[in-house]
Amino acid sequence: MIERMGAVSGRARLNGGPCLLAVALMSSVSLAQSHLDDSAGILDIGVSDEYSFYPIAEPGQDDSGRIRFILRSSGEYQFGTSIDRAGDFSVVRAGTGLGFSVPVADRLGIAIGTSFGYARYDFDRAEVFDGEKPWEHIFTGQASVIANYALDDTWRLFGGGILGFAGEDGAGFSDSVTGGGLFGAGYRHSDDLTVQLGVSVISQIEDDVAVMPVLLVDWKIDDQWRLRLGSLDTASGDLVGAGLNYTISERWSVGGRLSWMRSRFRLDDSGFAPGGVGQDDRFKGTVVVNWRAGDNIDVGVLGGMVFGGELRIEDENGDRLFKEDYDPTALAGVRLTLRF
């Protein structure tokens, strides 16, 4: 058995399982905004296979002033791998989200995004955690509203708010909520290169408020090669990634990505750490083959490796109970993107 590194104290908590799911379906989301051409649709910084949305908020981009929508659904399986001193585990992840942009005026655009994610962790040695699985069903969601104001053809300002939650089925909903905002500036060097730099201020579950840089770079190297990279601190995790994409034809493209991710979530009122916090850090690489099935439909199939990661468990006061690395493992997934 693993020796606990702190004491767990119990307290009354709201059972938020059904409420968590309902609110997720209605108002969960991701963040952001970017300057991209219509063929890109979503800014991919190497983590789009984790269901993160980046709806466009381009002032004056569409002369008709119509609202544009992006809908994405994704699924991924992380194959079984060993945790140091704690058996094996595997993960199934799924997510869906909707983003839309509204050109309000010649210089002002608004992007609104909503997304919902689900992850099922399967641990094979519950006895290691006092006979209970550390966690199993995790629900996450975010909602964001980002404004983009063009100062001129080169410079623009962006800013907005983010609200999110991340918790195990049965966790207290109010204890699973985080939020904050971000602001910054974007610079368009040319039609082929844009850079955005800013700051996000996001509350954390049982941790200090995180003040993190926001960096998004989109570089169209030539007609076939495109590089995207960036870092984001969202309301349900941290994302850092880089992706290089190669366009084979009008219908086909292939891309390679490297990304580091952190997921932090509230645990339910039972088990190894009642009302505590779980955390999953991982570094991975993926190769994605994309097929443009129609003018507004993209299908992607991905495979790759999680090069390594770390699981962490804290009690409800933020004191560490468990922290172990896990071994490399394979992953595979699929995603569908609709634009309308």
Over residues 215-257, the pLDDT tens digits come to 888 899 999 999 988 876 555 555 788 889 999 999 999 999 8
CA-CA distance, 337 to 68, in Å (whole number)? 13
- Interior/surface letters 97-136, b for 16+ CB within 10 angstroms, e for the rest: bbbbbbbbeeebbbbbbbbbbbbebebeeeebbeebbbbb
Residues facing 227 on adjacent strands: 219, 244
Q: Which domain holds residue 160?
A: 17-339
pLDDT level of residue 126 (50, 70, 90 thresholds): low
pLDDT level of residue 22 (50, 70, 90 thresholds): very low
pLDDT level of residue 140 (50, 70, 90 thresholds): very high
Residue 28 pLDDT > 60, yes or no? no
Residue 42 pLDDT > 50, yes or no? no
Stretch 132-153: mean pLDDT, rounded?
90
**Structure token pair of residue 43:** 């800014």
What is the H or E stretch that residue 24 is in?
helix 17-27
Residue 156 pLDDT > 70, yes or no? yes
**163 in a structural domain:** yes
Q: How many residues does the chain have?
A: 340
CATH code, domain carrying 214: 2.40.160
Q: Say which range, 27-41, 82-96, 259-273, has the weakest mean pLDDT.
A: 27-41
**164 in a structural domain:** yes
Residue 262 pLDDT > 80, yes or no? yes
**12 in a structural domain:** no
**Model pLDDT for residues 179-207, shown as the tens digit of each residue:** 999 999 999 999 899 998 999 999 999 88
Which has more confidence, 340 or 142?
142
**Model pLDDT for residues 204-218, shown as the tens digit of each residue:** 998 889 898 888 888
**Model pLDDT for residues 273-310, shown as the tens digit of each residue:** 999 999 999 999 999 999 999 989 999 999 999 999 99
Stretch 132-152: mean pLDDT, rounded?
90
Stretch 144-160: mean pLDDT, rounded?
91
Residue 79 pLDDT > 50, yes or no? yes
Residue 33 pLDDT > 50, yes or no? no
**8 in a structural domain:** no
How high is the pLDDT of residue 113?
86
How high is the pLDDT of residue 3?
42
pLDDT level of residue 138 (50, 70, 90 thresholds): very high
Rg of the chain over CA atoms, in angstroms? 20
CA-CA distance, 146 to 56, in Å (whole number)? 9
Stretch 105-127: mean pLDDT, rounded?
87
**1 in a structural domain:** no
**7 in a structural domain:** no
Which residue is listed with tokens 């891309």? 255
Asked if residue 264 lies in contact with residue 284, where contact means CB atoms within 8 angstroms, the answer is: no
How high is the pLDDT of residue 284?
92
Task: Choose among 168, 163, 161, 71: nearest CA to 118.
Answer: 168
**11 in a structural domain:** no
Q: How many domains does the chain have?
A: 1
How high is the pLDDT of residue 130?
74
How high is the pLDDT of residue 232?
63
What is the H or E stretch that residue 244 is in?
strand 237-247
**40 in a structural domain:** yes
